[in-house]
Structure 1
Amino acid sequence: MADPSSYRPKPGEIPPSPGVYRFRDEHRRVIYVGKAKSLRQRLSSYFQDISGLHPRTATMVTTAASVEWTVVATEVEALQLEYSWIKEFDPRFNVKYRDDKSYPSLAVTLNEEFPRAQVMRGPKRKGVRYFGPYAHAWAIRETVDLLLRVFPVRTCSAGVFKRARAVGRPCLLGYIEKCSAPCTGRVTPEEHRALAEEFCDFMAGRTGAYLRRLEERMHEAAEAMEYERAGRLRDDIEALRRAMEKNAVVLADATDADLIALAEDELEAAVQIFHVRGGRVRGQRGWVTDKVEHVTTAGLVESALQQLYGEESGEGVPREVLVPALPEPPEPVAEWLGARRGSRVSLRVPQRGDKRDLMTTVERNAQQALALHKTKRASDLTTRSRALEEIADALGLDSAPLRIECFDISHLQGEDIVASMVVFEDGLARKSEYRRFQIRGFAGQDDVRSMHEVVGRRFRRYLRERERTGEWAVEEPGDGPHGEAAEDAGETPGPRTEDGRPKRFAYPPQLVVVDGGQPQVAAARRAMDQLGIDDVAVCGLAKRLEEVWLPGESDPVILPRASEGLYLLQRVRDEAHRFAIRYQRGKRSQSIRRGPLDAVPGLGETRKKALLKHFGSVRRLRTATIEEICEVPGFGRRTAETVAAALAAQAPAAPAVNTATGEILD
């Protein structure tokens, strides 16, 4: 680990002009590339006190052994040079998006003598027009099959084309008139190229004018009594409309735009892009990335724009690019996009209307993509094993923690305090053993005392059930009986699980994780020490910087950024937080729904509904006599008296009035 002061440039060496800089490690490998409006100001920020840097930035500057820079004239040039260096050096600390899957595109090889329409994956090639990307290759083939009736361009491979040219006979598509058969000279190279360009224009969204021309030709043929030709044109128009229907109309007809949305957490980010051409969604793609460096949403957007349009020809850049946050500053990026397109590009955040609604849809797709990526990553057995081993090494455990329990506290401004306990076994969630707790008696936002109580209650149950071999203890107030069940329930003795171990709290974890930092970890450890539990490890995961805290330690454990162990701890913590929030919201909605009849002892839901149905409202029920309440089916005199007394106790007391003057007394 290098000391940044050992390679810090001397004062005055760094120019104040725009430029691009590179950090290199001791082996001269480029580990980070960045751009700056002022090189002096930006580079100076890296050489401040290490404790003041973000942990990821601190890791980068201590890994580096030297820094160098290149001065450019404008910020746009800096953006271009930064992109080319990132492509050339592939620095480990830069954001690099990777496709979450391989998306196929419809490609037209205009760089060939006889252009060919085909499904193509991988990097884009010069001279080839691309449309999409599409979610599935079969969607491209369906679209092409419909369009070949109107635009019979070549779709065969080079080998098939060469063979047909040698024998002088077209392939099957030529015989059924879905290919113009340039291989046999049925059309000239110029005519076939014009056909391919019309195909590209239609796919690029210029559909309205072409359809109108076809309709005019159809009417002209019908007026000239060329009914066979008119019928053929009618079928061509219908085929084109069916092809257009496969792409949803989402915006105005003339809209060409790309919508980019992000879903991110502390460790990863997912990007989803919708390509809208002619008001229709023509393609969709997605990327994911690890947050190796400390990067904001605006920085993620800038990296996505560089990767999306860095290799694009001018035709691939639309007139409008909609993003969740603007790069900082946005002007150089917009100018760079405009230079690639050859005309002005609008780069903005949609605020209202159809574009804002479509952006919401793209954001939802990004969230689902991130969740799916996490699920796939967590389901891999090898990855889970490595994660557990990394946790054991980082925390100094004797063996991998096969059972992990995580606790989280949730409340609303100090009210309705609840807690959750989630269980992960072998790196996977075991939802049947989730528990939730209601915490009473604490006023205010005292997460530390709440954590102490919850962990203590959990392990008191463990000790009690361990002593009662084969028996279940009575449920302690606040401990849920089954998975996501409610609190304050009692239980009777019952059987064990199928694998022979006691249910509920009798099976101890190897590791307890709490959501929080030093205070919460100390509270959990103290609760366990008071019960004599010394064979269960404890740690805390703080949200802000994803630091792992251990009891009695003044400094946190920093797991590597790409660590599978850190990823698993974060997933456990987030699941506990989700489970606690869900319970707390449920309790809050129940308290909101409570009415005056809830306070009447012994009155169930059926009889409450009967009262409200008979009287129409609680106000009319308050004024009813006991005899009138007895008229309701299911109500005797004793129950009616109970209802009347309870409602009278809830009613506000009438103010005292001076009978002589009519004045209300205090």
Structure 2
Amino acid sequence: MPEPSTYRPATGSIPTSAGVYKFRDPDRRVIYVGKAKNLRNRLNSYFANPAQLHPRTSTMVHTANSVEWTVVDTEVEALQLEWTWINEFNPRFNVMFRDDKSYPYLAITMNDEVPRAFITRGKRRKGVKYFGPFAQVWAIKDTLDLLLKAFPMRTCTAGVYRRAERSGRPCLLGYIDKCAAPCVGQISKDDHRDLARSISDFMSGNTGRFISHRQKEMANAAAELDYERAASLRDEISALQKVLDKSAVVLSVSADCDIFALVTEELEASVQVFHVRQGRIRGQRGWIIERSDDHTPAELTTDYLRQAYSGLDADAIPKEILVDTLPADLDSLEAWLSEQRGSRVTVRVPERGEKKAALETVAKNAKEALIQHKLKRSSDLTTRSQALKEIQEHLDLPEAPLRIECIDISHTQGSNVVASLVVFEDGMAKKRDYRHFAIHGEAAADDTASMYDVVSRRFSRYLEQMTSEEPDERFGYRPSLLVVDGAGPQVAAATRALNDLGIIDISVVGLAKRLEEIWVPDDPFPVILPRNSEGLFLMQRLRDEAHRFAITYHRSKRAKAMTSSVLDDIPGLGESRRTALLRHFGSVKKVRAATAEEICEVKGIGPSLAAKIIAALAD
């Protein structure tokens, strides 16, 4: 592995201006592309003390064996050049968002002599206008079918169009009035292009004039007793209205904006965007990213905005972009977007009102998309099998860990100490086997003592069930792998507890959250699984589930402790009456605000006890 000091450029040779740099590996492949306002400061940071670098960054500089840079005049040029090189070289250490699914678009080939409307999922082409993306392909098919009733433009392929030209007969769509048939001269090419422009304007949000114009024409046709024409216009108005009804209204004002939200977790992040035109959602799109911890939300925001608007036509970029986190290099990003659009573009975080509420809705969609992505990933049998195989191989286990148990300790500065135990079988959560433990006395002294106590209690029950005539299957199964939340000390405590019980056939590891390191007994160095491995994904999901379950139990214990500390010492107020009192009022605060008569409404509490309660809570 190359040593960074062998290819570090002399500090004085690095310019202090803005620019873009590339790290290359020994085979001259570009492995990372970055930009900087000051190239000297940025590049020197890569050659600092390796212990101060993020693991991913450290791996990158040790994989590379050369670095080169290109000076540019402005930060906007650096932003553009960096993105050009990222797309050209696809560097392995750069963050790249990928669509969480393939979205269909409505496309109109305005660059053709006779424009065509069609549905596509392919790459964008110059001169073609795109509308969407739509969540479902059937939704865009319905929309196009309705639009053709009002704007009967061509949808056929080039081959069908040329065949109709040669034969002098239109295709079926021309006979059923779904196409104006420019192929046989039923409409001029200029008039047909006007139809294409009309669909484009309507889908861009300029809807009012098309409906109002037809309403006036329908009234005139009816006045002239041309009922056939009036009926045709009525059907066109109805079709256009249905297209509008399919677009949900999110803003009462006729605003044009794109609304982005970012949801991040340790290994992945999710982005969703709503394309709002004239106050209506005209499209929705999402991305999933395999996240690197050294990228902040602000840096991720810069990355996804740049990816979202690269290669788009000017009219596809709105004048206002709403985000939940301001991007890094905000000024240069706004300048680049404004240059792409040809007019001023602002990026901001909405603070109140409808736009803030719309942003919260987008954030909910981003969170749901990440949940669905994880569920899809975890429910796939092949993926789960691969994850278990990777864990077995990397941890050198004697068998595939078909049953994994994970223990997590939770407390508040040493008080209300609790633990959770969650179970995964065949890579899936088995919630009926989840258990929690309350920890008291010397066992609550620190995390290692708590871990020893919980492991001892859980596997003492396991040994009891082995000799029981009616075993409890909740504790009667032996896990192939025991995972504890923590590093070496927690692993040592769990291993000691098993050894003291005489159990030697259960493997123990610890998962440290900060760097996702896996610690094994009696090894000073952790095992590092690849960040994109299914095995690490399963281990992280297991640990996160144990943490969630522990936190839930800890909060309930803490809430009970807070209420009991106030009500426990009241003479005559036993546990059942205390429970009834809290169930009736909902909280101690509301009990304190109640009158004696209101307290007496609680079953089992009379005037004398009500007076004692009021006196105790008044102190």
TM-score, normalisation: structure 1: 0.84
The structure-2 alpha-carbon separation of the partners of 1:18 and 1:520, relative to structure 1 and needing over 3 Å to count, comes to: same
Per the alignment, residue 433 of structure 2 pairs with 433
| 1-structure distance, mates of 2:617, 2:64 | 78
Shift of 1:442: 6.3
Aligned residue type for 1:530: D
Runs of 4+ in 1 over 6 A off after TM superposition: 442-445, 592-598, 601-610, 621-624, 643-651
Assess if the C-alpha contact under 8 Å between 2:11 and 2:40 holds in 1.
no
Aligned to 1:545: 515
Q: Secondary structure at the match of 1:12?
A: helix
Deviation at 1:174, TM superposition (A): 1.9
Distance in 1 (alpha carbons) for counterparts of 2:4 and 2:572: 67
Q: Which residue of 2 aligns with 1:575?
A: 545
Mapped contact 2:7–2:66 kept (Cα < 8 A): yes
Of the candidates 491, 496, 501, which is equivalent to residue 526 of structure 1?
A: 496
Question: Unaligned regions of 5+ residues in structure 2, if any?
Answer: 585-593
Partner of 1:496: none
- Percent of paired sites with the same residue: 54
Match of 2:590 in 1: none
Question: What secondary structure does 1:148 align onto?
Answer: helix
Structure 2 match to 1:613: none
Match of 2:474 among 504, 519, 522: 504
Map 1:294-333 onto structure 2 (within 5 A): 294-333=294-333
RMSD of the alignment, in Å? 3.1
Do the aligned partners of residues 243 and 648 (structure 1) sit closer, same or farther apart at CA in structure 2, a change above 3 Å counting? closer
1:660 is matched with: none
What residue number does 2:217 align with? 217
- In structure 2, C-alpha distance between the alignment counterparts of 1:505 and 1:654, rounded to whole Å: 44
Could you say what secondary structure the match of 1:452 adopts? helix
Are 2:449 and 1:471 equivalent residues in the alignment?
no
Q: Secondary structure at 1:514's aligned position in 2?
A: strand
> Please, which moves more after superposition, 339-348 or 579-588?
579-588
Question: What secondary structure sits across from 1:258 in the alignment?
Answer: strand
Aligned to 1:339: 339
Matches within 5 A, 1:624-663: none
Is the 8 Å Cα contact of residues 416 and 588 (structure 1) preserved in structure 2?
yes
Residues 50-69 of structure 1: per-residue CA shift (max 9 Å, x gap) = 11111111111111111111
The DSSP-based 3-state class of the residue aligned with 2:196 is: helix
Does the CA-based 8 Å contact 1:406-1:423 persist in structure 2?
A: yes
The amino acid across from 1:330 in the alignment is L
**Separation (CA, whole Å) in 2 of partners of 1:200 and 1:598:** 77
Q: Quote the offset at 1:144 in angstroms.
A: 1.4
Q: What does 1:377-388 align with in structure 2 at a 5 Å threshold?
A: 377-388=377-388
CA distance in 2, matches of 1:442, 1:644: 43
- Give the structure 1 partner of residue 589 of structure 2: none
Secondary structure, counterpart of 1:339 in structure 2: helix
- TM-score with structure 2 setting the length: 0.91
Q: Identify which of 577, 595, 600 aligns with 2:574.
A: 600
Aligned to 2:182: 182
Distance 1:113 1:584, change over 3 A: same
Q: State the match for 1:205 in structure 2.
A: 205
Residues 552 and 647 (structure 1 numbering): CA distance in 2 closer, same or farther, change over 3 Å?
A: farther
Which residue in the other structure is 1:352 paired with?
352
**2:485 paired residue number:** 515
Structure number with greater Rg is 1
How far off is 1:654 after superposition?
13
The CA deviation string for residues 304-344 of structure 1, in whole angstroms up to 9 with x for no partner, is: 11211112121211111112212222001111111111111
Determine helix, strand or coil for the equivalent of 2:67: strand
Cα distance in 2, alignment partners of residues 380 and 620 from structure 1: 60
- Shift of the 444–457 alpha-carbon distance from structure 1 to 2, 3 Å rule, reads closer
Q: Name the CA distance, whole Å, in 2 between partners of 1:121 and 1:76.
A: 30
| Paired residues of 1:413 and 1:444 also in contact (CA < 8 A) | no
CA distance in 2, matches of 1:131, 1:442: 65
SS for the counterpart of 1:538 is: strand
1:462 aligns with 2:436: no
**Partner of residue 562 from structure 1, selected from 508, 513, 532:** 532
* Amino acid aligned to 1:519: P
- Aligned ranges 1:243-262 → 2 under 5 Å: 243-262=243-262
Q: Supply the distance in 2 between the matched residues of 1:223 and 1:597 (Cα, whole angstroms).
A: 88
Measured after TM superposition, the shift of residue 431 of structure 1 is 1.6
**Do the aligned residues in 1 keep the contact of 2:384 with 2:426 (CA within 8 Å)?**
yes
Preserved contact between residue 443 and residue 450 of structure 2 (Cα < 8 Å):
no
User: Kindly tell me: are residues 113 and 555 of structure 1, through their superposed partners in 2, closer, same or farther at Cα, counting changes over 3 Å?
Assistant: same
Rounded to whole Å, the distance in 1 between the matches of 2:335 and 2:428 is 48
Q: Is the 8 A contact 1:108 1:130 kept in 2?
A: yes
Distance 1:326 1:653, change over 3 A: closer
Which residue of the partner structure matches residue 154 of structure 1? 154
Which letter does structure 2 place at the counterpart of 1:271? V
Partners of 1:471 and 1:647 in 2: how far apart? 48
1:633-657 Cα shifts (integer Å, max 9, x gaps): xx9xxxx9xx9998898785899xx
Counting matched residue pairs gives 608
Check 1:266–1:166 CA distance in 2 against 1; reply closer, same or farther (3 A cut). same
- Counting only pairs closer than 5 Å after superposition, residues 273-284 of structure 1 correspond to structure 2 as 273-284=273-284
For 1:439-496, what per-residue CA distance to the aligned partner results, in whole angstroms no more than 9, with x for missing partners?
A: 2336988433322221111111112222x24334xxxxxxxxxxxxxxxxxxxxxxxx
8 A contact 1:622–1:648 mirrored in 2: no
- 1:390·1:564 contact (CA, 8 Å) conserved in 2? yes
Partner amino acid, structure 1, of 2:540 = Q
Task: Give the drift of 1:227.
Answer: 4.7
Structure 1 equivalent of residue 34 of structure 2: 34
Cα distance in 2 for partners of 1:508, 1:109 equals 64
* Structure 1 Cα separation of the partners of residues 581 and 104 of structure 2: 63
Look up the equivalent residue of 2:553 and give its one-letter code.
Y
Distance 1:159 1:263, change over 3 A: same
